[in-house]
Chain A
Amino acid sequence: MDRARHPDLVNDVDEVLITEEQIRAKVAELGAMLSRDYEGRTVVLVSVLKGSLPFMADLMRAISIPAQIDLMEVSSYGGTATETSGLVRILKDLSSSIDGRDVLIVEDIIDTGLTLNYLLRYLRGKNPRSLRICALLDKPARRLVEISIDYRGFTIPDKFVVGYGLDYGELYRNLPFIAVLKPEVYSAS
């Protein structure tokens, strides 16, 4: 990241929106719900890199039924793919077939819904038996395309958040909580 100031994990945080304890409790709650709803089945948890990694790692351990995991990576607008093809691309596809499987997309945050809308269409084309969405954070104020979320952790206000996998310029992902950055962090970029 090209920035004049040196990032400071502690002092760059303006406000802790969701604490580590709150996240832990919510993940346990979601895990219990999923274990109940998918009882007798083996669910395939599909996580989208990179932001969803901490949530996926915690959620899979909170699920008490058989579960498999898979990872995908999708190019983002503004990245290098914008300059080449001008279209969203699958940078890392699923490792195994999901044909006839119960698939749960594990997302860190849903705001515009653009990436997830693309992903849903892509995964539906692979004929899963069921396809549901579990999102830790839902920011409905920014929604551009409507997405039906089956399992929702927290509905958050219209603020740019980092931490617990979420980044700003690839930083702050390792914060154990969800936080709002000080405005000067952006303006210094």
Chain B
Amino acid sequence: MPSGPNFAHGSEAELARIFDFYQVRWVYEPRTFPILWNLDGVVVESFSPDFYLPDFELYLELTTLKQTLVRKKNRKLRRLRELYPDLRIKLFYAKDFKALLLKYGRIDVAASLTGLEGQARPGEPLPARPGEPLPARPSAQALALRAERLAATARAAAVPVPTGEIPATTIPAPTATSRVARGRGSRRRRNRRLAASLPARPA
């Protein structure tokens, strides 16, 4: 399987596979659009569409949350369209995605690719193949054992093991091109950080 971006959600990975199959070029989360500024002109809200299809100059946002939970996304999309009227963007809902899977005879994997079920967990890759179950979250004991083994390996190699909290300055700031497996919550936090680094709204 070729290496690509780490998708935040299984539905995004499946859609990318469909695009690949039909040889449609795509880019994952290529741009962040500021959509709200505070009185000081600092960006406080932004929107990063999931896909860009360069051949069609079309942005695509895929949301597989329940229809009742997409109100916030709809509002952001309306705002985006107001601010960037020339931007072509399409919102693909859970029902659209399920219809796509139905069309391709893959409705059996719909449940595992929509909603919270299909969401990537921090540090855990999405299944390599569509329909494959997500890996089970490691238990606390397994994590403790893993940490113990790592510490033992580090001791053996005479590498100092950091103790206590890692200073914030040592954590690299996310960039627009960073691709890390993350949940929607962390994506929002990342967007806020990104938005803060964006230029102020032109007067």
Contact = CB atoms under 8 A, between A and B. Distances in A.
A118 B99 contact: no
A78 B95 CA distance: 18
Interface residues of B, number: 26
Nearest to B108: A189
B20 A86 contact: yes
Interface string B132-156: 0000000000000000000000000
A115 B21 CA distance: 10
Given A145-B56, A146-B56, A88 B99 contact: no
B1 to A, nearest CB: 9
Interface string B97-138: 001101111111000000000000000000000000000000
Interface of A: 76-79, 82, 86-88, 111-112, 114-115, 117-118, 121, 141-142, 144-146, 158, 160, 169, 186, 189
Contact of B23 (A78, A118, A144, A160): A118
A4 to B, nearest CB: 13
Query: Among B18, B19, B60, B105, which residue has the most Cβ atoms of chain A within 10 A?
Result: B105
B27 interface: no
A144 B89 CA distance: 10
A78 B104 contact: yes
Contact of B22 (A77, A141, A169, A189): A77
A87 B21 CA distance: 4
A108 to B, nearest CB: 13
A76 B101 CA distance: 12
Contacts of A76: 104
12 contacts: A77-B22, A77-B104, A78-B104, A87-B23, A88-B21, A114-B18, A114-B19, A142-B100, A144-B53, A145-B56, A146-B58, A189-B108
B17 interface: yes
B24 interface: yes
A142 B21 contact: no
Contacts of B53: 144-145
Contacts of B103: 111-112, 160
B82 interface: no
Given A77-B18, A114-B24, 4 more contacts: A77-B21, A114-B18, A186-B102, A189-B107
Nearest to A189: B107
